Amino acid sequence: MQRPQIPVDEAKRLAALYATELYGTAPEEAFDRITRLTAKLFDVPTVLISLVGSDTQWFKSRCGMDAQSGPRDTSFCGHAILSDKALVVEDATLDERFADNPSVVGAPHIRFYAGVQLYSVERAKLGTLCVIDSRPRTMGEDELEELYELGRMVEELIYHRQLARAAQELHEQLLHNAAHAPASIATSAAAGQVKYLLTHDALTGLANRQALLRSIGDNIAAWQAEGAGAVVACLNLDRFKQLNEVLGHEVGDAALVTVTRALQSHLREGDMLARAGNDEFVMLLNDPDGEERLLARLGQLMAEVNSHAYGASADLSLTCSVGFACYPQDGEEGDALLNNAVTAMRHAKAQGGGRIERYDPAQRREMGRRLTLESHLRRALEREELFLQYQPKIALGSGELAGFEVLLRWRHPEHGVVSPEEFVPIAEETGLIAPIGEWIVKTAVGQLAAWRAAGVPEVPVAVNLSARQFMQSDIVAIVSEQLAAADLHPGMLELELTESVSMADPGRSMVVMHKLKSLGVALSIDDFGTGYSSFSYLRRLPIDKLKIDKSFVQDVAHSADSRAIVQAIAAMAHRLNLGVVAEGVETEAQATALRDAGCDQAQGFLYARPLGPDDAARFIVAHASQPDCPTLPRACRKQAH
């Protein structure tokens, strides 16, 4: 067994550790909440916040471990603090450093370990946040990044405690000085400034979470005495993380200030607004005056937030989700009211965002399911639970098969087939969509090669690209490598982007799209009509098709307005030499109306439900088409040659 070495800065490191006043102290719920969340997210039995002392590691928080401490010389964490990189041991029995370690050959029989370093304010290593399993396993880059993020949460908790304690000591000292030197106005002002910093957000000037909770607590006695009601409403900005990533933190900070001013303009006397997180605001609203008027008021607040646009061209807008809890029905204490409002807000986001939801106890069960799905989704790829289906696209002019759209599915071992509407947003929020998206491209291209090898006629397939995959991954290299590996003609692959992806960062979008186009693949804009892009903007994009959102298709057979919109989109698209595809077609009447309106292709249950690979191959054979489609001259010629 290899014992961990002693770092060269050990004295400084230990001084920083003991200065936190955490080593040797009892567990605390704030830290325990993080270890429980980590265990659920990574589906591991043991998670520790381990503080490495001179000869002992102290578990400030432990989930799945009975012992409160352990010897440093046999600890994995002792090795982890020797590096700035995470320590990942996939199978300890195969690692010469740990193969004969007492914790490996005996209880708790560690096989897998992954630990990220925890740093003090002075950047000294205090210990680790680590996940442990008694069976070997792997950890991907995205999972490791998630573990780092959780480690930062632990560090922020430590920093806040240290800052609060230091500021409180300074505040008391300043007050003491002021009491003994009452003529010193500067000293009194400094004490007031420290108190302000302890209770307010530096960016927006709003009260912070702790100040809000104190205010709720101070008001409860009055509410009880008067029989009055109150509301705690939590507002979260949808997709704010993407705005930060695409436009930068300076624009993000400006957006937060704009939202603050917008909300403040609608507050009444006695109300309070606080910033409780990066993209989260909380309002304490007195005298709600009935739920109907309350909903109307929250709707006004939401509309005010949604009305602003951001970026150099002011062409990117944000929506928000709101959850609220009412006193006393939904909670009689500050913590309960705030937690329940947050639960309702998360429920609103899980429903697609841009909604207002009141707290309901059932939402906690739903959030439990969501956390479970998130945890299991992290292992779904390696457990081969994800699979693809293929929905045919039909040429409206000839009735021939024009291609397929690839659809992602998840067959969960306990819950059966989980709807994409439920798990894809989870994948987007957690970043799992990047590795999943790469798997989709690889699997779809591989399926095309398998059909070709089996003698099935070639037809193109379309793959959706998520915003994160398009903007953050090296999608050009991924597509190029997969096409080369399968020796597949690029024209057989079509990539679909939503309007919002192309509009979020037009400059970068243009560069990436031109690189993809240079590979020879077809490009299309999906869900056209739901965003803000104009035909003058589309003219600049190297795209081949527009896909009309199904919301316009549903009423096209009976609504003159819907028909007029579809006709206008088709006419303008054809002037740009673009093909037009309609999705969500379920009836012959819709198909006829779309054909008459100028649409070139259609897909939906009218033609076939999504098919597995074998059924899709039989569908291709049964509907073998000509090598060229007169209704889509530009796109089809590129795919046929």
Task: Provide DSSP, 14-51.
Answer: HHHHHHTT-TTPPP-HHHHHHHHHHHHHHT-SEEEEEE
What percentage of residues in the chain have a pLDDT greater than 90? 41
Planar angle of CA 304, 317, 301, nearest 5 degrees: 15
- Mean pLDDT across the stretch 82-88? 93
Q: In the structure, what pLDDT confidence band is assigned to residue 98 with cuts at 50, 70 and 90?
A: very high
Topology classification of domain 200-360: Alpha-Beta Plaits (3.30.70)
Residue at token pair 């046929």: 640
pLDDT for res 544: 93
Counting every residue written for the chain, the total comes to 641
pLDDT for res 244: 75
Using the predicted structure, report yes or no on whether residue 615 has a pLDDT greater than 90. yes
- Mean pLDDT across the stretch 311-339? 82
Using the predicted structure, report yes or no on whether residue 499 has a pLDDT greater than 70. no
**Comparison of pLDDT for 453 and 265, the residue scoring more:** 453
Lowest mean pLDDT segment, chosen from 72-81, 168-177, 215-224, 406-415:
168-177
Highest mean pLDDT among 293-297, 373-377, 482-486: 482-486
- Say how far apart CA 217 and CA 337 lie, in whole Å: 11
16: left (phi over 0), alpha (psi -120 to 50) or beta: alpha
pLDDT for res 313: 59
- Mean pLDDT across the stretch 119-136? 90
Residues 6+ apart with CB under 8 A from 488: 445, 448, 449, 452
**Comparison of pLDDT for 632 and 472, the residue scoring more:** 472
Residues 6+ apart with CB under 8 A from 510: 540, 541
Per-residue burial over 168-199, b = 16 or more CB atoms within 10 Å of its CB, e = otherwise: eeebeebbeebeeeeeeeebbebbeebeeebb
φ/ψ of residue 112, rounded to 5: -120, 140
Planar angle of CA 260, 262, 268, nearest 5 degrees: 95
- Residue 200's DSSP bridge partners are 207
pLDDT for res 532: 43
**Comparison of pLDDT for 57 and 532, the residue scoring more:** 57
- Range(s) within the chain of domains with CATH label 3.30.450.40: 10-161
pLDDT for res 630: 35
pLDDT for res 634: 35
CATH code that applies to domain 10-161: 3.30.450.40
Using the predicted structure, report yes or no on whether residue 430 has a pLDDT greater than 60. yes
Lowest mean pLDDT segment, chosen from 47-51, 190-194, 234-238, 576-580:
190-194
- Say how far apart CA 231 and CA 158 lie, in whole Å: 31
Using the predicted structure, report yes or no on whether residue 186 has a pLDDT greater than 60. no
- Say how far apart CA 146 and CA 380 lie, in whole Å: 16
**Comparison of pLDDT for 14 and 335, the residue scoring more:** 14
Planar angle of CA 601, 423, 416, nearest 5 degrees: 95
pLDDT for res 455: 94
Using the predicted structure, report yes or no on whether residue 605 has a pLDDT greater than 70. yes
- Mean pLDDT across the stretch 562-566? 83
Using the predicted structure, report yes or no on whether residue 639 has a pLDDT greater than 80. no
- Say how far apart CA 185 and CA 553 lie, in whole Å: 70
- Mean pLDDT across the stretch 180-186? 52
Task: Give the model confidence (pLDDT) of 379-422 as tens digits.
Answer: 888 889 999 999 999 999 999 999 999 999 999 888 888 888 88
pLDDT for res 521: 95
pLDDT for res 177: 64
pLDDT for res 199: 74
Q: In the structure, what pLDDT confidence band is assigned to residue 505 with cuts at 50, 70 and 90?
A: low
- Mean pLDDT across the stretch 339-368? 84
| CATH architecture assignment, domain 372-640 | Alpha-Beta Barrel (3.20)
pLDDT for res 441: 95
Whether 519 and 483 have beta carbons less than 8 Å apart is answered as yes
State the Rg of the chain over Cα: 29
Q: Taking all residues of the chain, what is their mean pLDDT, rounded to a whole number?
A: 84
- Range(s) within the chain of domains with CATH label 3.30.70.270: 200-360
N-term to C-term CA, the chain: 63
**Comparison of pLDDT for 173 and 252, the residue scoring more:** 252
- Mean pLDDT across the stretch 19-46? 89
- Mean pLDDT across the stretch 201-206? 80
Whether 99 and 30 have beta carbons less than 8 Å apart is answered as no
- Mean pLDDT across the stretch 625-641? 37
Using the predicted structure, report yes or no on whether residue 635 has a pLDDT greater than 60. no
pLDDT for res 198: 62
Lowest mean pLDDT segment, chosen from 28-32, 117-121, 312-316:
312-316
Using the predicted structure, report yes or no on whether residue 574 has a pLDDT greater than 80. yes
Q: In the structure, what pLDDT confidence band is assigned to residue 633 with cuts at 50, 70 and 90?
A: very low
Lowest mean pLDDT segment, chosen from 22-26, 85-89, 195-199, 501-505:
501-505
pLDDT for res 627: 46
Residue at token pair 């249950």: 605
Pairing, β 320-327 against β 356-358? parallel
pLDDT for res 214: 85
Shortest CA distance to 50 belongs to which of 145, 122, 131, 121? Answer: 131
Q: In the structure, what pLDDT confidence band is assigned to residue 440 with cuts at 50, 70 and 90?
A: very high
What percentage of residues in the chain have a pLDDT greater than 70? 87
- Range(s) within the chain of domains with CATH label 3.20.20.450: 372-640
**Comparison of pLDDT for 92 and 338, the residue scoring more:** 92
Task: Give the model confidence (pLDDT) of 266-318 as tens digits.
Answer: 888 888 999 987 889 999 998 777 888 889 999 999 988 888 877 665 557 78
Using the predicted structure, report yes or no on whether residue 638 has a pLDDT greater than 80. no
pLDDT for res 46: 96
